[in-house]
């Protein structure tokens, strides 16, 4: 008897509660900023590609759906000559983002990636590269790496001493 009344009460209570179902796509759901959706490649504050083609994302990928080839421009900056993600294999685990030492590869809140043809799920670099820094503004790998690349000489990074004068014997 009590159980029956309790049931009726629960039904009545939830009848007037705000609905959890939303009318997608007319109505947009709230996506938390750390959602693991479509993968992008970001640029640094100067608009240059952040990806240095270190291959760590590819190595971390459990389904091996990332492939790329490293190249070096005339300034000495490494970049991927091609960068391909096969989203039909991607499981959106976010390991690539975690592995990325330069904040280049990031997962975004976009999840609307359905395609009728599976081949269209293969994204090349021009599909992946965005024009901004994404979630992590400000970080510039080459300022920290100690290398000399175009526009940044040895010893000019924030954590670098000026280059050693080999001919000096001063302590």
Partner 1 sequence: MITIYIDNKPYQVKPGQNLLQACLSLGFDLPYFCWHPALHAVGACRQCAVKQFKDERDTRGRIVMSCMTPVAEGMRISVDDAEAKAFRKGVIEWLMLNHPHDCPVCDEGGECHLQDMTVMTGHNERRTRFKKRTHRNQYLGPFINHEMNRCIQCYRCVRYYRDYAGGRDLNVFSAHDHVYFGRHEDGVLDSEFSGNLVEICPTGVFTDKTLKQHYARKWDLQTAPSICVHCGLGCNTIAGERYGTLRRIMNRYHHDVNGYFLCDRGRFGYEFVNSGKRIKQPMLSPSLSPSPQGRDASTSSPLAGEDRGEGDLQPFDKESVLGHVTGILSNSKGIIGIGSPRASLESNFALRSLVGPGNFYSGMSEPDHRLISLIIDIHQKGPARSPSLRDVRMADAIVVLGEDLTNTAPLLALSLRQAVRGREFEAAAKLNIPEWHDAGVRNAGRGARNPLFIATPAQTRLDDIAIKTCHAAPDDIARLGFAIAHELDPSAPAVRGLTEGTSSLAKEIAHSLKDAKRPLVIAGTSLFNEQIVQAAANIAAALCAGSTDAALCYTVPECNSMGLGIIGGRNLDEAFTVMDDGLADTVVILENDLYRRADAGKINAFLDRAKHVIVLDHISTRTALRADIVLPAGTFAESNGTLVNNEGRAQRFYQAFVPQGDIQGGWKWIHAIMVAAGRTTADAMQSLDSVTATMADAFPVLAPVKDIAPPADFRIKGSKVPRQPHRYSGRTSMHADVSVNEGKPREDADSPLAFSMEGSEEQPPAPLIARYWSPGWSSVQALNKYQQEVGGELRDNGSGKRLVQPDQHGKPAYFTADPAKASHAMDAAIVPAYQIFGSDELSNYSPAIEERAKAKKP
The footprint of partner 1 (CB under 8 A) covers 52-56, 58-59, 61, 63-72, 78, 82, 84-86, 88-89, 101-102, 118-119, 121-122, 124, 141, 144-148, 154-155, 159-169, 171
Element (H, E) at 143: helix 141-145
Continuous H helices in 1-48: 2-15
Kindly state the tokens that stand for 121: 């799920």
CB of 126 to partner 1, least distance (A): 12
Q: Between 108 and 147, name the residue whose CB sits nearer to partner 1.
A: 147
CB of 107 to partner 1, least distance (A): 17
Beta bridge partners of 67: 84
First to last CA, the chain: 91
Q: Between 7 and 75, name the residue whose CB sits nearer to partner 1.
A: 75
Q: Between 110 and 153, name the residue whose CB sits nearer to partner 1.
A: 153
Q: Between 64 and 98, name the residue whose CB sits nearer to partner 1.
A: 64
Contact of 50 with 102, CB cutoff 8 Å: yes
CB of 127 to partner 1, least distance (A): 12
Number of other CB atoms surrounding residue 128 within 10 Å: 19
* Phi/psi of residue 105, nearest 5 degrees: -90, 125
CB of 60 to partner 1, least distance (A): 9
Q: What's 149's DSSP letter? A: B
CB of 157 to partner 1, least distance (A): 8
Q: Between 108 and 143, name the residue whose CB sits nearer to partner 1.
A: 143
- Burial group, residue 64, by CB count within 10 angstroms (0-12, 13-18, 19+): exposed
């Amino acid at each position: 008897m009590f159980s029956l009344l309790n049931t009726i009460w629960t039904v009545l209570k939830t009848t007037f509660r705000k609905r959890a179902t939303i009318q997608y796509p007319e109505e947009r759901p709230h996506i938390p900023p750390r959602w693991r959706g479509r993968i992008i490649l970001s640029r640094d504050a100067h608009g240059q590609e952040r990806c240095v083609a270190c291959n760590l994302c590819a190595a971390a990928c459990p389904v091996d759906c990332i492939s790329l080839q490293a190249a070096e421009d005339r300034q000495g900056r490494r970049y991927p000559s091609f960068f391909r993600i096969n989203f039909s294999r991607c499981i959106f685990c976010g390991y690539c983002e975690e592995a990325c030492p330069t904040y280049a590869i990031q997962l975004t809140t976009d999840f609307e990636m359905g395609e009728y043809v599976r081949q269209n799920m293969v994204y090349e670099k021009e599909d992946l590269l965005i024009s901004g820094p994404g979630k992590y503004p400000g970080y510039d790998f080459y300022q920290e790496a100690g290398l000399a690349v175009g526009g940044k000489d040895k010893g000019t990074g924030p954590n670098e001493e000026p280059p050693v004068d080999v001919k000096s014997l001063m302590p």
